[in-house]
Amino acid sequence: MIDLHFNFAFQLDLIQQTVRRWVISNLKPLSGDYIFTGLQGNREVVLKASPDIQALNQEARALKAFAGFGVVEVLAQEGGVLLLERVMPGGSLKSYFPVKDQEAVQIACEVIRKLHHAPLPARDEFPHIKNWLLLLDRVWNIPESYINKARALRDKLLATSAPEVLLHGDLHHENILSRGSDFAVIDPKGVIGERAYEVGAFIRNPIPQLLDDPDADNIIKTRIRDFASNLDLDANRIADWCFVQAVLAWAWALEDGLNTVYYKPLAELLYNLVL
Ligand SMILES: Nc1ncnc2c1ncn2[C@@H]1O[C@H](COP(=O)(O)OP(=O)(O)O)[C@@H](O)[C@H]1O
Ligand SMILES: [Mg+2]
């Protein structure tokens, strides 16, 4: 078991060391416990640390594999700490919900098209979505009708997969930031699978706000239609992936001991699309 207090102190020490070595000034908290803004010379930077060093290394690998295809620039990396270009002004697509939702979908399509042109890395550099989806075979406190449906759809989708690309793997609103007149992508997981998988994260977010919206069902249907036509994908495959990923996200939340209150209504909403 990880000792969180030890880990937090260790992490702060690591951050202080890298701040000194990379000569960063004006360090200020940006998000959570481990993400800061700062200045390197007169360049605006973001410092991202994480107690999960493996996940952060994987993020750095994914950012490098996507370099030149619309992601934020990696300036330096050292065990457990990443130095990134600060995206400016940096507002995320979350502020587009709900009024400018269709515009947000078009922007997401543009960044996805660019990301998916990155060359496919060697097999063992990134996990495959089928490995992530093995989690559905464990026993979870999730209604059986949902878990069974998710397993069956997963098997069907994987057996009939379109050609594979390197996927971002978590491309929701808060990972797409405005950069001048353009948008930059942050926080990729890096996972291999078919293109239709990618749009699921956007379609189910921002989860609390979407679920609160009396028109959620129509918003989701319109998003599926627009992603399908803009990216030349099959709308039914997108809907199937949305449901499977909602159940996967539920299992992840249970595994991590996170709040799962939104996952039942979300799965219910998406279940009706795949019946
Ligand atoms: N390079 C960056 N430039 C500007 N803002 C950033 C940058 N990296 C992260 N942020 C801000 O911090 C938030 C969390 O960062 P993110 O890397 O997505 O961390 P997490 O893994 O916690 O989701 C983002 O949604 C964004 O608002
Ligand atoms: Mg993020």
Question: Is residue 78 located within the same domain as residue 198?
Answer: no
Residue 54: predicted pLDDT: 93
* Residue length of the chain: 275
Residue 250: predicted pLDDT: 98
Question: Is residue 254 located within the same domain as residue 124?
Answer: yes
Question: Is residue 119 located within the same domain as residue 26?
Answer: no
Q: How many CB atoms lie within 10 A of CB 255?
A: 11
- Is 71's C-beta closer than 6 angstroms to any atom of ligand 1? no
Q: How many CB atoms lie within 10 A of CB 104?
A: 22
* For the CA of 52, the nearest ligand: 1
Residue 1: predicted pLDDT: 40
Is 2 a domain residue? no
Question: Residue 126 in 3-state DSSP?
Answer: coil
Tokens of 5: 């207090």
φ, ψ of residue 36 in degrees (nearest 5): -130, 155
Distance CA 201, CA 160 (A): 21
205 CA to middle of ligand 2, Å?
A: 12
Question: Is residue 168 located within the same domain as residue 133?
Answer: yes
Choose one of 11, 24, 30, 58 to mutate for the ligand 1 pocket test, by most ligand atoms within 8 angstroms of C-beta: 30
The ranges of the chain with pLDDT < 50 are 1-2
Chain mean position to CA 223:
17
Q: How many CB atoms lie within 10 A of CB 81?
A: 23
- Is 186's C-beta closer than 6 angstroms to any atom of ligand 1? yes
- Is 30's C-beta closer than 6 angstroms to any atom of ligand 1? yes
Residue 216: predicted pLDDT: 98
pLDDT in tens, 196-243: 999 999 999 999 999 999 999 999 999 999 999 999 999 999 999 999
Look at ligand 1, atom 20, and give the residue with the nearest C-alpha.
187
Q: Which domain holds residue 59?
A: 9-86
